[in-house]
Structure 1
Amino acid sequence: MSWFILFIAGILEAGWLVGIQKSESFTNIPYVVFAIFSMALSLVLFSIALKDIPVAHAYLVWLAVGASSISIINHYFFEQPLSTQQLLCFCLIFIGVVGLKVSN
């Protein structure tokens, strides 16, 4: 269950990055609120996951899921290009994440 919680925390990390991006320098208040909510919930879930997952593994997974999520969100919702090489690298990141889970 901790790995699932960590995965959700990583997705929420991408959520607060989108919120900050769309807040237009913190002038668009609904996006500011969304960013703060996503950031807080991401950190809470991350800390819950740390009860069962070593901090080094959890941090790497949290960052990997967040970075991958933000790229995918930007591609599908904000029309930013995503190359085949980038997709391949994301696959390598997720292979590493699976490797960490298996080794834990």
Structure 2
Amino acid sequence: MAWLLLIVGGLFEVGFTTCLRFVDGFRNIPWTLGFLASVTLSMGLLEVASRSIPLGTAYAVWTGIGALGTVAVGILWFGEPTTTLRMLLILGVVVCIAGLKLTA
């Protein structure tokens, strides 16, 4: 169950990084509320998951999910580049996250 909570928390990290793009100095209220809700849920789920998963592993996986998801959002919705090197580096992050999961 802790791993599921950690994954959901990582997905909420993608939510708060995406909202952060639109908060406009925290003047855009709907996006700011989305940011605050997402960051609260994300951090809360990380905290709960880290009760059962070693903290360093939980944090690395949570950050990795957030980073990968944010890169995917950037590519799919904001037209960010998809160079071969960038994709290989993203694959490296995925392999590292899987390795942490297997060793935890």
Q: Which amino acid aligns with 2:43?
A: L
Q: Which moved more, 1:79-88 or 1:27-36?
A: 79-88
The Cα RMSD (Å) is 1.1
Match of 1:25? Answer: 25
Match of 2:100? Answer: 100
Counterpart Cα distance in 2 of 1:48 and 1:82: 34
Counterpart Cα distance in 2 of 1:94 and 1:46: 19
Match of 1:77? Answer: 77
Which segments of 5 or more consecutive residues in structure 1 lack a partner in the other structure? none
Aligned residues: 104
1:13 deviates by: 0.9
Percent identical residues: 29
Given the two structures, how large is their TM-score scaled by the length of structure 1? 0.93
Find the residue that maps to 2:21 and give its secondary structure: helix
Q: Which runs of 4+ in 1 moved over 2 A?
A: none
Given the two structures, how large is their TM-score scaled by the length of structure 2? 0.93
Which segments of 5 or more consecutive residues in structure 2 lack a partner in the other structure? none
